[in-house]
A and B are shown apart, each in its own frame.
Chain A
């Protein structure tokens, strides 16, 4: 790690002012950041530590409106264990948190940090390789290289995948996020957080330099809402997803009245599949229906040399998530 100045803000205003300075990065727990700094992929001069701003940024609360407010620096373990998540409407979010990394990491890593983490592509994350997304080379090396864990959908000139467990269920739940940049406070739809055209030279998220995510808001789920999150992986525990799927269904009188399907770990961004979700509307849950939805979720996929298994496994995971949500 290169030496840096460690900034301890006393307020959000101070943090966002400090965060706007050149060569400065914001830090949650630092799980992703320290990892990248050890590899010298990121060499900031200043790190602004957000963890001391507990009053402003930490904790989970159910607001008077029924909306769930998740503070940006809430740990993944705190989110998973919060009583508000023991609810079929939020089961997908809880499962995604519980399946993330290891107990040690869930006890530290923040919710915002998980959503804003850098891709795990082994070319970008190794100093030895010079690829375009890392800003160190002319092309995406994974596209023609070892791409077992890379994208099968939605890629342009870079086949990295977005690794966050928490992003797909939050998208499925129509979550929003609040940010602060200087004096400017904004609240936007979660879909705005990820680039519409995830090119090699586009960052993982659309935040401006120094813009602090302060909270994530999950609107009060409609009656009959159920969510699920499933992922495929190579190990039973403590592994990254090879494919993931978060679903939301609203059941009314045995029929599906509203639905969303969001894929994770298969594209450079967490990927909502509205056309697949639309097939569920007005229908009763069935294996045949879920098969159709799974096919539609992966429609238009372009697998690479070593990852067409993701289509087979990924569709099974979509079906499994739908089964769980409608069981």
Chain B
């Protein structure tokens, strides 16, 4: 799939770009125009990259300036991660990169090539939703729901890292996710229930 190119990209700006070398090994492809001894470079035009999302390698066309958040949402239709502040200040766009939560709005999609990404969609892939998701529902850990996917991802990372987190650890691990409805208490309840059920580490 392709990220819409209505963000100021033009053929002219593409042609202004410097040497572009095609490399297959990293899963990146670009118009080949190899210049010896010059570093590899991409863009500014569009090109295809491969992202490893939820265990599957997926091709997506991006510009060098496309953020991971935009590549996931607009390119791969993984709209669980939300674009809220787009400046790293709310956590709505939280996804896991190599198991660690990151804000996709401040990561270039190019930087995510070769990294293992996990989005909230992975938790509802099978027939039964992940225990954490079930516990979010049981504990009524959402109101408007907009911060929820990000909250779930930070909660998942907390469980995977800590096993049975203490309240202080939960507070630390959730501190990058803002909820204007104030559901924090119930989110922590959902984490604790999941930890007690012993299903935090997997499905």
Supposing A3-B63, A102-B176, A107-B101 touch, asked if A34 and B44 sit within 8 A by C-beta, the answer is no
Say which residue of B43, B97, B173, B178 sits within 8 Å of A103 (CB atoms): B173
Is the Cβ of A102 less than 8 Å from the Cβ of B175? yes
How many chain B residues sit at the interface, stated as a range, is: 35 or more
Contact of A77 with B by CB under 8 A: yes
Complex: how many Å from CA A48 to CA B14?
17
Interface residue stretch chosen among B50-58, B87-95, B129-137: B87-95
What 12 additional pairs, Cβ within 8 angstroms, besides A105-B176, A107-B97? A3-B8, A3-B45, A4-B64, A5-B42, A14-B39, A37-B65, A45-B16, A103-B157, A103-B175, A108-B103, A237-B171, A238-B176
Residues of B within 8 A of A (CB): 7-9, 13-14, 16-18, 39-45, 63-65, 67, 86-88, 91, 94, 97, 100-103, 106-108, 110-111, 154, 157, 171-173, 175-178
Q: Within the assembled complex, what's the spacing in Å between the Cα atoms of A5 and B43?
A: 5
The answer to whether A35 touches B39, judged by C-beta atoms less than 8 angstroms apart, is: no
CB distance from B113 to the nearest CB of A (A): 10
Binding site of A, secondary structure by majority: helix, strand, loop or mixed?
A: mixed
Q: Are A31 and B41 in contact (CB under 8 A)?
A: no
Report whether B18 and A108 are in contact in the complex, using a CB–CB cutoff of 8 Å.
Answer: no
Q: Which residues on the A side are within 8 Å of B91 (C-beta)?
A: 102, 104
Tell me whether A15 is interfacial, beta carbon within 8 Å.
yes
User: In the complex the two chains form, what is the Cα distance from A108 to B157 in whole Å?
Assistant: 15
Is there a chain B Cβ closer than 8 Å to A49's Cβ? yes
Question: For A47, what are the chain B residues with a Cβ–Cβ distance below 8 Å?
Answer: 64
Q: Taking the nearest CB of chain A, how far is it from the CB of B73, in angstroms?
A: 16
Q: Are B106 and A35 in contact (CB under 8 A)?
A: yes
A2 adjacent to B43 (CB under 8 Å): no
Q: Contacts A31-B88, A35-B106, A104-B94: A3 and B100 contacting too (C-beta < 8 A)?
A: no
* Alpha-carbon separation in the docked complex, A15 to B39 (Å): 8
Closest to B94 in A: A104
Question: Is B175 touching A3 in the complex (CB atoms < 8 A)?
Answer: no
The answer to whether residues A105 and B63 also contact, given A6-B110, A7-B39, A35-B88 and a CB cut-off of 8 A, is no
Asked whether, in the complex, the Cβ of A107 is within 8 Å of the Cβ of B102, the reply is: yes
- The answer, yes or no, to whether A313 is at the interface (CB within 8 Å) is no
The residues of A that contact B173 with a CB separation of less than 8 Å are 103
Q: Chain A contacts of B17 at CB under 8 A?
A: 5
Complex CA–CA separation, A5 to B175 (angstroms): 34
Contact of B40 among A8, A45, A102 (CB under 8 A): A8
A30 contacts B39, C-beta separation under 8 Å: no
In the bound complex, how far is the Cα of B97 from the Cα of A49, in angstroms?
A: 18
A46: Cβ under 8 A from any B Cβ:
yes
Q: Choose one: B106, B171, B176; the contact of A34 (CB below 8 Å).
A: B106
Q: Which residue of A lies closest to B95 (CB)?
A: A104
**Which of A2, A4, A8 has a CB less than 8 Å from the CB of B39?**
A8
Given A7-B39, A8-B40, A102-B175, verify A2-B8 contact (CB < 8 Å).
yes
- Find chain A residues with CB under 8 A from B41 CB: 5-8, 46
Bound-state CA distance A82–B97 (Å) is 20
Given contacts A103-B101, A103-B172, A104-B103, contact A6 B87 (CB under 8 A): no
Q: Complex: how many Å from CA A8 to CA B45? A: 16
Known interface pairs A2-B65, A5-B41; A108-B171 also in contact (CB < 8 Å): no
Decide if A184 is an interface residue (CB 8 Å cutoff).
Answer: no
Q: Are A104 and B39 in contact (CB under 8 A)?
A: no
- A34 engages B67 (CB within 8 Å): yes
The answer to whether A38 and B43 have CB atoms under 8 Å apart is: no
How far does the Cβ of A184 sit from chain B's closest Cβ, in whole Å?
Answer: 19
Residues of A within 8 A of B87 (CB): 35, 38
Give 10 A-B contacts (CB < 8 Å), ordered by A residue: A2-B8, A5-B41, A6-B43, A29-B106, A45-B16, A49-B111, A103-B172, A103-B173, A103-B176, A237-B171
Q: A49-B111, A51-B111 are in contact. Are A5 and B106 (CB under 8 A)?
A: no
Within 8 Å of chain B (Cβ to Cβ): is A266?
A: no
A225 to B1 CA separation, bound complex (whole angstroms): 57
> Is A327 on the interface with B (CB-CB < 8 A)?
no
CB distance from A206 to the nearest CB of B (A): 26
